[in-house]
Amino acid sequence: MTPRFPLDPVALAAELVAIDSRNPDLVPGAPGERAVADRLGEILAGWGFAVSVHDVAPGRPNLIARVGPPGVSPLVLNGHLDVVGVEGMRHAPFEPVRRDGRLYGRGSNDMKGGVAAMCVAAARASALGALSCEVIITAVCDEEFRSLGTSALLAEGLVATAAIVTEPTRLAVAPAHKGFEWFDVQVHGRAAHGSRPDVGVDAIAHAGLLLARLVQLGDTTLRERVHPLLGHPSVHASTIQGGTGWSTYPDHCHLQLERRTIPGETSAMVEAELRAACDAIGAVHPTFRADITRHTSQPANDVSADAPIVRALTDALQHRTLPPSVDGLSCWTDAALFTAAGIPAVCFGPGDIARAHAAEEWIDESDLHAAADVIERVLGTWGRTVPTSTGAP
């Protein structure tokens, strides 16, 4: 009989880090999440969870594990199992090392540490008979690329009262984070010999006019829009390509733009601002012409600071004599998908987003223990403090 895995978030984080789960959409030929999902499923089943693992795309599984009274104030604990590439790392990525109170390895901080903390918290609360709600563990695939895992989970009709996404927040409660819009912009020119400015149209120079206009937008209009936890939105050029040679007017220039959004900004609003910038340039330079295509869009997240899940987490932090910090998160997470589906979702977890995807990735072991303790306390009180039925239709 296989020995029961210890209820220790550091040990579980190390177990998960040791399994290569690089996202194959980011790293061609990478193994994906199958092995780590299967191993976590074995551990959770040994702790008494009802576990299912199923593919949402070939070789890309979600793990769902349930414990506690079925259907009673269901609370989701969500985290992703995929990790990014390991090029340039200064230590072995999949050989977890514990040193000086830290756990090193790819995914230790983003976000297998958070997954470990939430799983141990639920298992401890269940073992103590403290659960007054159903806990739904969702360890998903593909968050680092297209969020296929959480999108599929919600499309299947998941119902819950709230969700905690255990992304690294330095143990702050993060009820809001920014969204993003990605655009491809093709600026068109007219090829001509470099000595014939009367014939040529410089697509690169025209792209420069657009970039200058976007800098102005960022320094004026966007600075005036402020969210209390997130600050102001932003726009930047991610890549630029164009031209064919020294003595030729470039007939094309391709820009990739990223616009980080705050709650209240819509995709239509953001695209309209970009098109207005192009129209303004065209009014002064009649040969300016650009095609704009939205590539990817994800919404911002915004849950009230007075929401029950925020209060439950801050109360649990105070009980453990930790600062009950409520803060915004600059990066995008799957929390926005839960909230958009009618399940209020906040981020709370061990680690620091500044160490995500880094050449040296580590997490404080003390943060892992603290996160598990805080989430365990939330689980012990949740079913007594919220309605028994709410969530996505």
DSSP for 255-300 reads EEEEEEE-TT--HHHHHHHHHHHHHHHHHH-TT-EEEEEEEEEE--
Of 15, 82, 352, 365, which residue is the catalytic one? 82
pLDDT value of position 241: 98
DSSP for 80-132, written as a single string: E--B---TT-SS-TTS-EEETTEEESTTIIIIIHHHHHHHHHHHHHHHTT---
- Distance CA(132)–CA(128), nearest Å, equals 11
Please check whether residue 166 is in contact with residue 349, taking contact to mean a CB–CB distance below 8 angstroms.
Answer: yes
The answer to whether residues 357 and 110 touch, using CB atoms and an 8 Å cutoff, is yes
**Residue 17 φ then ψ, to 5°:** -60, -35
Give the span between the Cα atoms of 382 and 120, in whole angstroms: 17
How far is CA 297 from each of CA 7, 181, 215, 256, 260, rounded to the nearest angstrom? 39, 4, 21, 13, 10
Burial of 219-257, coded b for 16+ CB within 10 Å and e otherwise, reads: eeebeeeebebbeebbbeeeebebbeeeeebbbbbebeb
Question: What sign does the dihedral 142-147-150-155 (CA atoms) show?
Answer: negative
Decide if 225 contacts 265 (C-beta within 8 A).
yes
pLDDT of the residue at 2: 64
Say what the pLDDT of residue 123 is: 98
Cβ atoms < 10 Å from Cβ of 303: 24
Query: Is residue 25 annotated as a catalytic residue, yes or no?
Result: no
38 among known catalytic residues: no
Nearest to 131 by CA among 228, 66, 39, 226: 66
From the CB of residue 216, how many other CB atoms can be counted at a distance below 10 Å? Answer: 13
Residue in 33, 143, 181, 367 annotated catalytic: 143
Residue 157 backbone class (left: φ over 0; alpha: ψ -120 to 50; beta: rest): left
Calpha distance 322→370 (Å, rounded): 9
pLDDT along the chain (393 residues), means of 10: 87 98 97 98 98 96 98 97 97 97 98 98 96 97 96 96 98 98 98 97 98 98 97 97 97 98 97 98 98 96 97 97 96 97 98 95 98 97 69 38
Distance CA 62, CA 75 (A): 17
